[in-house]
Amino acid sequence: MTIILFIIVLAVLILVHEFGHFITAKKLGMRVDEFGIGFPPRIFAIKKGETEYSINSVPLGGFVKIFGEDPDDTSINGPDKGRSLINKPKWAQAIVISAGVISNVIFAWFLIAIGFMIGLPVSVDQPGFEDALDQKVVIVDVKKDSPAMNADLQIGDKLVSLSTESETIKDFGEDKMRDFISVHGGEEIEIVIERGKNNTVTTSAIPIAGILEGGYAIGIATDVVGIAKLSFFDALWESAKLTKDLLIAIVESFAGFITSLFDGTGNFSNLAGPIGIVGMVGDASQFGWVYLLNFVAFISINLAIINSIPFPALDGGRLLFIVIESIVRKNIKPIVTNTLNTIGFVLLIVLMIAVTYNDILKLF
């Protein structure tokens, strides 16, 4: 079920991206030869006007064929050259190439807005969400080789109660939780958590010294999370702010990773490929549809940022070619752009294989 869900998520995100290219190319008078759902081999196709709409057998997204996207003699000098992407003004080319990335960001904004209207989990530390409903202490990190890890506490677990032989606490905040754990150092604490949707788990841990300065702890970091349920317009506004914050955070994280590759501190093991994302989709779905919507929005923003990188075969690389052509006032020879895009595509496939191999190693 998780794999099927992952395929659906991936297909939707790629279709959203390709639809952005498709609709802007149409609106700007470019010839679109095909809009495909899935990848070949083809199952069937319907031609409406000049465009073929196809259903294909590999359900991993979709594609759009814009006349002149990969320039050849026909698209440059043929009878329909005026509707070729390569012969359109640079601003029109830039809009079409950018439209996929923009569509992914808009889609993320839309999903987060739906989440806010249904009821989205938020940190009550965020301004404006102090009165969020159903506030609970949630684990956001588990220290390696700690009592918490040995007790199988996991990120996302909601703390329901803490008990010793002499005392039990419920409906507590972070301060009360920390104080309870600290004063019961060396004692076994029974921990009741809510994991996923309506799944209660009981475990135990013994607080030890040395994790926190001056006290006992079990090795967890927590946050107080509540449910924010907003009206339509408030949801759109808060979703826009959260989308902006996610964009900034992901760009900064990615920039930090790139920088670390040059100073020798980079760690590819932190990257997740298809297999890793399958697991994340499954984990998110266990917490409910709202969590899944939020995670899909996060992946959509990641796809937008990755596609914006100025690397051949990516939208950012195609935009870079357009910028260079605008500066030198001369088109780059098609054989150069096509060759660079092919090389870039091969390198991306190699990277994907390496990351997938890393995902497999993490399973063992």
Q: Please report the sign of the dihedral spanned by the C-alpha atoms of residue 178, residue 183, residue 184, residue 185.
A: positive
Pairing of strands 51-66, 215-217: unpaired
Q: Classify domain 133-227 at the CATH superfamily level.
A: PDZ domain (2.30.42.10)
> What pLDDT sits at residue 53?
94
pLDDT value at 295 more than 60 = yes
Burial of residue 131, with CB atoms counted within 10 A of its CB: 0-12 exposed, 13-18 middle, 19 or more buried:
exposed
Contact between 113 and 236 (Cβ < 8 Å) = yes
- Phi/psi for 283 (5° steps) reads -60, -45
Percent of the chain clearing pLDDT 70 (strictly above): 89
The residue assigned the tokens 């007790």 is 151
Catalytic residue among 18, 167, 213, 325: 18
Q: Which residue type sits at 334?
A: P
User: SS3 sequence, 270-284?
Assistant: HCCCHHHHHHHHHHH
Percent with pLDDT over 90 in the chain: 39
Per-residue pLDDT of 219-248, as tens digits, reads 998 998 888 899 999 999 999 999 999 899
Residue 18 appears among annotated catalytic residues: yes
Cβ atoms 226, 214 nearer than 8 A: no
Residue 203 DSSP SS3: strand
Other Cβ atoms within 10 Å of 346 Cβ, number:
12
Q: How confident is the model at residue 72 (pLDDT cuts 50, 70, 90)?
A: confident
Query: Do 55 and 38 contact (CB within 8 A), yes or no?
Result: yes
Domain residue limits, the chain = 2-118+266-362, 133-227
> Is 80 exceeded by the pLDDT of residue 266?
no
For 301-354, the pLDDT digits (tens) are 999 998 999 999 899 999 999 999 999 988 888 889 889 988 988 888 887 777
Contacts with 262 (C-beta within 8 Å, 6 or more apart), sequence order: none
